[in-house]
Amino acid sequence: MKLRKSLFLSLLLAVSQPIWAAVTEVSINDLYPHRSHRQSTIVITDVISKYHYRDISLDDALSSQMLERYLDTLDPNRSFFIREDVAAFSIYEKKLDDALKQAQLDPAFKIFRTYRQRVNQQIKLALQLLDEKFDFTKDEEYRFDRSKSSWVSNQSELDALWRKRVKNDVLSLRMADKDDKAIHKTLSERYAGIVRRTNQLNADDVFQLFINAYTLSLEPHTSYMSPSLSENFDISMRLSLEGIGAVLSVKNEHTVVQSVVPGGPAELNGEIKAGDRITGVAQADKDIIDVVGWRLQDVVEKIRGPKGSVVRLQVLPKDATMGGPSKIVTIVRNKIKLEEQAAKKSIIEELDGMEKRRIGVIEVPTFYRDFRAYSKGDKNFRSTTRDVRKLLAELSNEGVDGVVVDLRQNGGGSLTEATELTGLFIKSGPVVQVKDTLGKVEIESDPDPKIAYSGPLAVLVNRNSASASEIFAGAIQDYGRGIIIGEPTFGKGTVQTLIDLDRLVTAGTEELGRLRLTMAQFFRVSGGSTQFRGVVPDIIFPTATNAQEHGERSLENALPWAQIGAAEFKAENITDSIYLRERHLKRIKSDAGFRMLQEEEQLIQAVTEQHTVTLLETQRRTKWNERDEKIRGNRNRYRIAKGLKPLTKTEQSDDEIDSKADHDEEKIDQIMVNEAAHILSDLISLQGSHAKKLQLSKVEKMANSKQDCTLTIVGC
């Protein structure tokens, strides 16, 4: 079977955090490995040793990594274990590899039983601390992100840490104008929920946690799903086109929006962005339920619901500090509409400083393909390539001078579509190379020599452009077919397949679950991988700060960048981007939009780098207000430059003003697109200048040739 047949499924998976499905409390005496767990272990280790793309020995070094990752998975913020516990677990540091080889899983369960006891113990303390009267005039700090901190030395230090944690939780709710009674109720339920959800984890859940400590020590995209999670995954896939359309994960006990799905209610609503944290959920007009510290699956089940129903989310924006101001976002659940996912076109003209040109823009939110219609033989099946081909023809008829393909936020999709879409802009040839576990390289090529569009081309990407987007952008760059603009892309250059473990055993009736296995890697036609580095634009926008903290580069154990031999392909003339870069930098130096984007990026970066928060209420409120003023001041400088009414203190976003007036405001997302149009316009001018020089050179050569001939005749 060709690799492409298994790629689409891998791009649908987004298991970035273990999702547990147990719903009733489990006796601690039942937390022991089962026969099915041992059988699954044997199959998983065998499959990984034979077929995983990365060849890593199951040895003492890996055992040490597994122990560290298992403890980090159980207690990521180092809030339950103390140094004495970790020292006791160290007896397994070089034994977990042997335990896996022999399918002896007792160490994992012993560690988990200790963890469960520690959770019960610390939450009991937290509930007691709620009855204290905290002094918010005392100058203290609380470290809310302890993921990189040392384990505390003893129980008294841990209790002191929890006192600050409870104090911080109380202060955060005070800042949100909750009264004492409401604060006590909210936090009592939050803390009790932590115990309840921990005590619901069964033996399957523990096994899954431990096995994923092993798989994630190999690289980030190989993971195990227990039978219950596999069933839940199937349900979620059947329901995947309903809900709010957001990919979620967990960090520091907060549910974090990883991305919003193109065409989904969340994207159409426009108030939820990647990086935002969901702290509460309510159904329609019911009260908000605090979901801080909840299991991801429980939060998903609260958010999920039938089409047409209303869900309200309490959201802490990504640029807000921990404990800062949140907002309520109301969303009507709906199916993800294909027409909203489909490619769209627009035309940019009459931009300040741009020559009188019409630049076509094609936005491609995802690489979609209606596989069901295709398999049925429907000649009119929907696909990215078909839609873009039609849009290109329309833009050509409308007389555009160049085209920008906008791939920002495009997380990938069908490999077939990435290949065929590239074919619209190049003559037939290779598009991407796929290297499997055995070292065999398969080339995906565009067999169609027809070109749908041969004019000036730019591709706009950002840090969230991934997988299929990187294949397309990389090929366009390698062929010299167009100029790549924006931010370095995500760097997701590996291929996964989903393996049903039940099919690999001949005996036994117990379900074993599934393994998501990394088994190949993408390489560009020039030989370099799209993995880790991503695609580096020819012109990088100044918003591309701290690239190491985004995408694949930020993940532990990510496969490194690699290189193989180049495929046979013919590149066009590569554009010298120095002139274009100089023009770009000069232009954005005085551009209000880019200045705003850069300042917002700096604010977000400051929040990201902050790991502590003050417990002095006056100082906390001062910092809160200062942050709001910075955001509002930054946005207002941009609005004033555009001749728009500035935001007042009660207006927190452009959306609140846009609903009243200023409907013609240039959207923030359009700032980058407009600059891409400027750059493409510069490229057209540059190509025109080169064409004139070339023509003059030809005329000059012809004149010289005639003159030489005349002289020769005279001489004769």
Angle at 137 between CA 134 and CA 139, to 5 degrees: 100
Task: Kindly report the CATH number assigned to the domain that includes residue 310.
Answer: 2.30.42.10
Residue owning tokens 């207690």: 75
Catalytic residue among 276, 446, 478, 591: 478
Q: Of these residues, 467, 469, 577, 681, which one is catalytic? A: 467
Host domain of residue 458: 342-579
How many Cβ atoms sit within 10 Å of the Cβ of residue 629? Answer: 11
Tell me, yes or no, whether 82 and 189 share the same domain: yes
Q: Do 327 and 346 have their domain in common?
A: no
Residue spans of alpha helices (H) in 537-644: 578-588, 592-609, 617-641
User: Which tops the pLDDT comparison, 553 or 304?
Assistant: 553
Higher pLDDT, 437 or 296: 437
Q: Are residues 606 and 553 in the same domain?
A: no
Q: Which residues contact 256 (CB under 8 A, 6 or more apart)?
A: 248, 249, 250, 275, 276, 277, 278
598/574 same-domain check: no
- 467 belongs to the catalytic site: yes
Residue 14 belongs to a domain: no
Q: Nearest-CA neighbor of 429 among 502, 503, 481, 368?
A: 481
Single-letter amino acid code for the residue at 340: E
Q: Which range among 236-245, 514-523, 594-603, 644-653 has the greatest average pLDDT?
A: 514-523
Contacts of 627 (CB under 8 A, 6+ apart): 319, 320, 321, 324, 603
Last residue of a domain, one of 529, 545, 579: 579
Contact (Cβ atoms closer than 8 angstroms) between residue 523 and residue 54: no
Here the tokens at position 355 are 């020559």
**Which one is predicted more confidently, 92 or 246?**
92
Instruction: Using the 3D structure, point to which of 647, 666, 685 is the last residue of a domain.
Output: 666
Tokens of 614: 């003050």
Angle CA 77–80–86, to nearest 5: 95
Cα–Cα distance list, 294 to 203, 288, 503, 651 (Å): 19, 14, 34, 31
Point out the domain boundary residue: 666, 689, 708.
666
Look at the chain and report how many structural domains it folds into: 4
Residues 370 and 517 in one domain: yes
Give yes or no for residue 588 having a pLDDT over 80.
yes
**Residue 18 pLDDT greater than 70, yes or no:** no
8 A C-beta contact, residue 166 and residue 129: yes
Q: Which residue has the higher pLDDT, 178 or 545?
A: 178
Is residue 351 in a domain?
Answer: yes
Phi and psi of 348, rounded to 5°?
Answer: -105, 130
In the block, tokens 């008829």 appear at 397
Which strand (E) or helix (H) includes residue 411?
Answer: none
3-class secondary-structure state, position 526: coil
Residue 240 confidence (pLDDT): 43
pLDDT greater at residue 468 or residue 258: 468
Residue 249 is among the residues annotated as catalytic for this protein: no
CA 162 remoteness from chain centre: 32
User: Could you read off the pLDDT of 555-574 as tens digits, one per residue?
Assistant: 999 999 999 999 999 998 76
Please return the burial class of 498, using the count of CB atoms within 10 Å of its CB with bins 0-12, 13-18 and 19+: middle
237-293 confidence digits (pLDDT tens): 444 445 788 888 888 788 999 888 887 898 888 889 888 999 999 998 888 999 998
Range 94-111 average pLDDT: 97
Average pLDDT over residues 458-473: 97
Please tell me whether residues 608 and 545 are part of one structural domain.
Answer: no
Place of tokens 């917002």: 600
Asked if the structure places residue 328 within a domain, the reply is: yes
501 pLDDT above the threshold of 60: yes
Say if residues 22 and 201 touch (Cβ distance below 8 Å): yes
- Stretch 668-684: mean pLDDT, rounded? 93
Give the whole-angstrom CA distance, residue 424 versus residue 472: 11
Q: Answer yes or no: do 538 and 636 share one domain.
A: no
For 455, phi and psi rounded to 5 degrees? Answer: -85, -175
Q: How many Cβ atoms from other residues are within 10 Å of residue 294's Cβ? A: 25
Evaluate whether residue 88 is within a structural domain. yes
* Residue 20 CB partners (closer than 8 Å, separation 6+): 197, 200, 201, 205, 208, 229, 295, 297
Q: Which of 298, 208, 274, 295 is nearest to 516 (CA)?
A: 208
Residue 18 lies in a domain: no
From the list 164, 345, 435, 492, the catalytic residue is 492
d(CA 230, CA 237): 10
**In terms of domains, do 525 and 424 share one?**
yes
Structure tokens belonging to residue 645: 């009414």
Torsion sign across C-alpha atoms 685, 690, 693, 698: negative
**What is the chain's mean pLDDT, rounded?**
87
Q: What mean pLDDT comes out for the span 369-380?
A: 84
| Least confident span in 140-154, 581-595, 607-621, 645-659 | 645-659
Give the whole-angstrom CA distance, residue 348 versus residue 346: 7
CB–CB of 658/668 below 8 Å?
no
Six-digit token string for 558: 């990510």
Give first-to-last CA distance, the chain, whole Å.
74
pLDDT of residue 320: 82
**Residue 100 covered by a domain:** yes
User: Is residue 41 domain-resident?
Assistant: no
Tokens of 409: 């936020």
Task: Work out the percent of the chain whose per-residue pLDDT is above 70.
Answer: 88
Question: Is 447 within the bounds of a domain?
Answer: yes
- Cα Rg of the chain (Å, integer): 28
> CA torsion, points 692, 694, 695, 698, in degrees to nearest 10?
160
User: Is residue 340's pLDDT more than 60?
Assistant: yes
- For residue 413, what is the domain's CATH number? 3.90.226.10
pLDDT digits (tens, 9 = 90+) for 477-487: 999 999 999 99
Distances (CA, A) of 24 to 196, 199, 200, 483, 631: 9, 8, 5, 56, 45
Percent of the chain with pLDDT over 90: 65
Compute the Cα dihedral for 514, 517, 519, 525 and give only its sign. Answer: positive
Please write the tens of the pLDDT for every residue from 404-451. 999 999 999 899 999 999 999 999 999 999 999 999 999 999 988 899
Phi then psi dihedrals of residue 437, to 5 deg = -60, -35
69 & 161 share domain = yes
Taking 90 as the threshold, does the pLDDT of residue 499 lie above it? yes
Dmax (CA) for the chain in angstroms is: 115
Average pLDDT rounded to a whole number, residues 157-185: 96
Mean pLDDT confidence for 682-696: 73
User: Checking DSSP bridges between strand 402-406 and strand 358-363, what pairing results, if any?
Assistant: parallel
Q: Which residue has the tokens 């944290």?
A: 277
Q: Looking up tokens 């987004």, which residue turns up?
A: 14
Q: Are residues 513 and 428 in the same domain?
A: yes
Kindly report which listed range (48-57, 465-474, 599-608) carries the lowest average pLDDT score. Answer: 599-608
For 75-108, b/e burial (b = at least 16 CB within 10 A) is bbbbbbbbeebbeebeebeeebbebbeebebebb
Q: Is 492 a catalytic residue?
A: yes
* pLDDT tens, position by position, 651-668: 554 444 444 334 334 567
Ramachandran angles phi, psi of 390, nearest 5°? -65, -45
Residue 709 has pLDDT above 60, yes or no: no
Which amino acid is it at 484? I
Q: Write the CA distances from 354 to 212, 311, 586, integer angstroms.
A: 53, 44, 13
Same-domain check for residues 529 and 637 = no
199 and 279 belong to one structural domain: no
For the ranges 95-104, 224-233, 601-610, the maximum mean pLDDT occurs at 95-104
